[in-house]
Amino acid sequence: MTHSSPRTVAAYNNNQPYSDRIMLEKLEIRDCRRADSAAIESLYPQAFPEENLLPLVRDLLNDPVVAISLVGTIDTRIAGHALFTKCGVVGDSVNAALLGPLAVAPAWQRQGIGSAMICAGLRRLEDADVNLVCVLGDPAYYGRLGFLPESLVEPPFPLPAEWDGAWQSQKLGETTTICEGRLSVPPQWLQPALWAP
Ligand X SMILES: CC(C)(COP(=O)(O)OP(=O)(O)OC[C@H]1O[C@@H](n2cnc3c(N)ncnc32)[C@H](O)[C@@H]1OP(=O)(O)O)[C@@H](O)C(=O)NCCC(=O)NCCS
Residues that bind ligand X (CB under 6 A): 4, 8-9, 12, 14, 47-48, 102-104, 109-115, 137-138, 140-141
Question: Is 22 or 175 the residue whose CB approaches ligand X more closely?
Answer: 22
Which residue's CB comes closest to ligand X? Answer: 114
Question: Is 2 or 179 the residue whose CB approaches ligand X more closely?
Answer: 2
Name the E strands within 32-143: 67-74, 77-89, 92-104, 132-136
Give the shortest CB-178-to-ligand X separation in angstroms: 26
Among the listed residues 104, 107, 70, 75, the one whose alpha carbon sits nearest the alpha carbon of residue 85: 70
Question: Is 114 or 155 the residue whose CB approaches ligand X more closely?
Answer: 114
Residue 95, CB-side half-sphere exposure with 13 Å CA sphere: 14
Give the shortest CB-4-to-ligand X separation in angstroms: 4
Give how far Cα 115 sits from Cα of 24, 83, 157, 159, Å.
11, 13, 27, 25
Question: Is 4 or 170 the residue whose CB approaches ligand X more closely?
Answer: 4
